[in-house]
Structure 1
Amino acid sequence: MTSYLSIEHVHKTFGEGPSATEVLRDVDLHVDRGEFISIIGHSGCGKSTVLNIVAGLLETSTGAVILDGKEVSKPGPDRSVVFQNHSLLPWLTVRDNVALAVDKTFKGTKSAAERREWILQTLEMVGMGHALDKRPDEISGGMKQRVGIARALAMEPKVLLMDEPFGALDALTRAHLQDEVMRIQSDLGNTVLMVTHDVDEAVLLSDRIVMMTNGPAATIGEILEIDLPKPRERLAMADNPQYNHYRAEVLRFLHERHKNPEAEAA
């Protein structure tokens, strides 16, 4: 059966000649519709490069990305990105920041009234319906990131791409937003590809964790399937032996790469 999202033998090299740097080597990954995949690894392992290639922001050197039967060659509304920085326009209100994406994506297919209703619905989904007319400097960091997630979801993408979306937040806000993302993904059945440095976050949210070898010339070292029922309760997971086993497996992989950067080449 054909995968919904296929990253097929992707290589990526920056530069040319003697100064060329091979960032990715033969990255091959197949994702089913509705899966939540986390990509984890040490800094410089090409995690964000993989995400940017799927987003269409970078071209492959060789290999291809296929989404729902079509090759990805440029950015498009079928893939929306949530960055670590919320990337909201400071002069626009919460409502208008989301409207910018909705109007660009659905003008011609949804009426103005339908677009207004959809904007309100997505902001309510992330708990920001109370702040429609506030500007980014009037709300907290966690609220800004909620708006960023709402803007991405409002495009109704086939794949939601998240690049360390909670990395800049304090621990309590991060935990709250992780729970919100779990709830939303459960409700909508989104296909999600997320880059993270956080082992607990990866185990809590994911169906599979893709562990990258060290760069340069990074590739997929191991893929860990997380066989835990959803929805997952954070407190219950803390004492769950299976959860702790998965956590230990990811930590083992990362520790081996930190202790011996050439382990994958051995």
Structure 2
Amino acid sequence: MASYLKLDHIGKTFTRGAQKSEVLRDINLSIDKGEYVSIIGHSGCGKSTLLNLIAGLTEVSSGGVLLENKEVSAPGPDRAVVFQNHSLLPWLTVYDNVKLAVNKVFANRSGAERHDWIMENLSLVQMAHAKDKRPGEISGGMKQRVGIARALAMEPKILLLDEPFGALDALTRAHLQDQMMEIHARLGNTMIMITHDVDEAVLLSDRIVMMTNGPAATIGEVLEVPLERPRKRVDLASDRMYLKCREAVLKFLYERHRFVEAA
């Protein structure tokens, strides 16, 4: 049976004049439909580059990205990206920021259908009450929830999350993590998330992909996270399997692949 998403011997090299920089080498990974996969590694290991390759924002140098056996060669609404920066247009309301994506992807639907779909997705992230506010009038966590709503409103096959909670305070981050688990449970989206946070990766993921250090980074290990869902962070704090998974990621990052800063 073919994989839902397959990264097949991917390599990526950037060229500037006579200089070449090999960022990724021989990346092989298969992801099933509905999986939540986190990618973790030290700065400079090519995590964001890998996400951009899946999104079609950057071309692969070798190998290929296959989604449902079709090669990914350009951006598309079947792969929505949520960045660390919410990327909302400041002059538009919350509603209109989501409407932009909905109008682009679902131009064939009636105005009433599109309105209902926008409101459904804002309600999903608990932002329907703020639909008439502009980004400057809401908090950072609320902006990120709108960004997630906009991405989900495109009905993507894969939701790509590039450190979506990295710029938020701890309490807001925890709340959005819980909300993301609820959304994943309800919708069953395939989600791929970049993170630097070990606890976040273990809490949210079905599998954690651990990258070796760059240049020419590759996948060092893939860790299964066999924790039952739904997951509650308070209950997991002392759970043996949670602690075992957390220890495995920490050992990989800080013992086997310790980050060494350039002098």
Q: AA paired with 1:62?
A: S
- Number of equivalenced pairs: 260
Contact kept in structure 1, 2:42 and 2:259, CA below 8 Å:
no
* Aligned counterpart, 2:173: 174
Give the direction of change, closer, same or farther, for the CA distance of 1:81–1:18 in structure 2 (3 Å limit): same
- RMSD (Å) for aligned C-alpha atoms: 1.0
Q: AA paired with 2:72?
A: V
* Aligned counterpart, 2:123: 124
SS of 1:20's partner is: strand
* Structure 1 residues 1-266: aligned runs within 5 Å: 1-15=1-15, 18-108=18-108, 110-259=109-258
Give the direction of change, closer, same or farther, for the CA distance of 1:252–1:130 in structure 2 (3 Å limit): same
CA deviation string 1:90-111 (max 9, x = no partner): 0000000000000000002x21
CA distance, structure 2, for counterparts of residue 253 and residue 210 of structure 1: 11
Shift of 1:256: 2.0
SS of 1:65's partner is: strand
* Aligned counterpart, 1:264: none
Shift of 1:209: 0.1
CA deviation string 1:192-220 (max 9, x = no partner): 01000000000000000000000000000
Q: AA paired with 1:23?
A: V
Shift of 1:255: 0.4
CA distance, structure 2, for counterparts of residue 260 and residue 141 of structure 1: 30
CA deviation string 1:160-184 (max 9, x = no partner): 0000000000000000000000000
Query: 4+ runs of 1 displaced by more than 4 Å?
Result: none
Give the direction of change, closer, same or farther, for the CA distance of 1:124–1:218 in structure 2 (3 Å limit): same
Give the direction of change, closer, same or farther, for the CA distance of 1:260–1:121 in structure 2 (3 Å limit): closer
CA distance, structure 2, for counterparts of residue 62 and residue 17 of structure 1: 20
Stretch moving more, 251-260 or 136-145? 251-260
Contact kept in structure 2, 1:11 and 1:24, CA below 8 Å:
yes
Shift of 1:260: 7.1
Which stretches in structure 1 are left out of the alignment for 5+ residues?
262-266
CA distance, structure 1, for counterparts of residue 86 and residue 224 of structure 2: 30
CA distance, structure 2, for counterparts of residue 135 and residue 231 of structure 1: 34
Q: AA paired with 1:107?
A: A
CA distance, structure 1, for counterparts of residue 8 and residue 104 of structure 2: 30
Contact kept in structure 1, 2:199 and 2:246, CA below 8 Å:
yes
CA distance, structure 1, for counterparts of residue 222 and residue 242 of structure 2: 16
Contact kept in structure 1, 2:93 and 2:133, CA below 8 Å:
yes
CA distance, structure 2, for counterparts of residue 141 and residue 260 of structure 1: 30
CA deviation string 1:41-78 (max 9, x = no partner): 00000000000000000000011000112110000000
Give the direction of change, closer, same or farther, for the CA distance of 1:260–1:85 in structure 2 (3 Å limit): closer
CA distance, structure 1, for counterparts of residue 253 and residue 18 of structure 2: 30
Which stretches in structure 2 are left out of the alignment for 5+ residues?
none
TM-score (norm 2): 0.97
CA distance, structure 1, for counterparts of residue 34 and residue 259 of structure 2: 35
